Amino acid sequence: MRGHSHVGLRTAVLGGVPSLSIAVPTQPAAVRGAVRVTIPEARRRASVHRVWALLAAAGAAVLLVVTVAAFALARWISRPVHALEGATRMLADGVLTTSAPTTTGPPELRRLAATFNRTAARLQALIHAQRSFTAHASHQLKTPLAALRIRLENLEPAITDDARRNLAAALTEADRLTDMIDTLLQITRAEHAPERLIVADLDVVITQRIVALEPLARRRNVRLALTGSPVGEVDAVPGALDQIVENLLANALRAAPDRSTITVHRCPAQPGSGPRGEPAVELHVIDQGEGLTEEQRRLAFEPFWRAPGSPKGGTGLGLALVRQLTEACAGQVALRPAAGTGIDAVVRFRAATRPT
pLDDT tens readout for residues 212-267: 999 999 999 999 999 999 999 999 888 889 889 999 999 999 889 999 999 999 99
pLDDT band at 192 (very low <50, low <70, confident <90, very high): low
175 and 208 housed in the same domain:
no
Does some domain include residue 16? yes
221 and 328 housed in the same domain:
yes
What number is the average pLDDT over the span 198-224? 93
Q: Is the pLDDT confidence value at 200 over 60?
A: yes
Residues 38-66: tens digit of each pLDDT: 777 777 778 888 889 999 999 999 999 99
Does some domain include residue 202? yes
Q: Which of 84, 150, 76 is nearest to 117 (CA)?
A: 84
Supply the pLDDT for residue 339: 86
Give the integer Cα–Cα distance in Å for 15 and 166: 134
Does some domain include residue 47? no
341 and 204 housed in the same domain:
yes
Supply the pLDDT for residue 218: 93
- In this predicted model, which residue has the larger pLDDT, 353 or 53? 53
Structural domain boundaries, residue 326: 197-350
212 and 294 housed in the same domain:
yes
Average pLDDT, the chain: 82
Q: Which of 348, 179, 193 is nearest to 278 (CA)?
A: 348
Does some domain include residue 53? no
Task: Tell me how many domains the chain contains.
Answer: 3
Q: Is the pLDDT confidence value at 211 over 90?
A: yes
321 and 247 housed in the same domain:
yes
164 and 236 housed in the same domain:
no
Supply the pLDDT for residue 123: 87
Does some domain include residue 302? yes
Domain finish residue from 190, 206, 222:
190
170 and 239 housed in the same domain:
no
Q: Which segment, 12-26, 93-107, 311-325, is predicted with the most confidence on average?
A: 93-107
Q: Is the pLDDT confidence value at 116 over 60?
A: yes
Query: Which residue stretches of 156-274 are H helix?
Result: 161-191, 202-219, 240-255
pTM score of the predicted model: 0.57
112 and 234 housed in the same domain:
no
Does some domain include residue 321? yes
Does some domain include residue 161? yes
N- to C-terminal Cα separation, the chain = 97
pLDDT band at 333 (very low <50, low <70, confident <90, very high): very high
| CATH number for 118 | 1.10.287.130
What number is the average pLDDT over the span 321-341? 89
160 and 219 housed in the same domain:
no
Query: Which of 106-110, 233-237, 314-318, 323-327 is predicted with the least confidence, judged by mean pLDDT?
Result: 314-318
What number is the average pLDDT over the span 62-90? 87
Query: Which of 30-44, 58-72, 322-336 is predicted with the least confidence, judged by mean pLDDT?
Result: 30-44
Does some domain include residue 260? yes
Do 104 and 131 contact (CB within 8 A), yes or no?
Answer: no
Residues 161-186: tens digit of each pLDDT: 778 888 888 888 888 788 777 777 77
What Rg value do the Cα atoms of the chain yield, rounded?
Answer: 42
What number is the average pLDDT over the span 101-129? 87
Residues 272-322: tens digit of each pLDDT: 666 666 789 999 999 998 888 888 988 888 887 877 766 666 667 788 889
Q: Which segment, 97-101, 309-313, 340-344, is predicted with the most confidence on average?
A: 340-344
Do 311 and 254 contact (CB within 8 A), yes or no?
Answer: yes
Query: Which of 71-80, 126-135, 180-189, 251-260 is predicted with the least confidence, judged by mean pLDDT?
Result: 180-189
| CB-based burial, 201-230: b 16+ in 10 Å, e otherwise | bbbebbeebbeebeeebeeeebebeeebee
168 and 202 housed in the same domain:
no
Supply the pLDDT for residue 356: 43
Fill in the DSSP letter of residue 310.
P
242 and 339 housed in the same domain:
yes
Give the integer Cα–Cα distance in Å for 179 and 168: 17
Domain finish residue from 154, 171, 190:
190
User: What percent of the chain has a predicted confidence (pLDDT) above 90?
Assistant: 25
Q: Which of 291, 338, 298, 349 is nearest to 320 (CA)?
A: 298
| CATH number for 219 | 3.30.565.10
171 and 282 housed in the same domain:
no
pLDDT band at 155 (very low <50, low <70, confident <90, very high): confident
Give the integer Cα–Cα distance in Å for 321 and 275: 21
3-state helix, strand, coil in the chain (%, to 5): 50, 20, 25
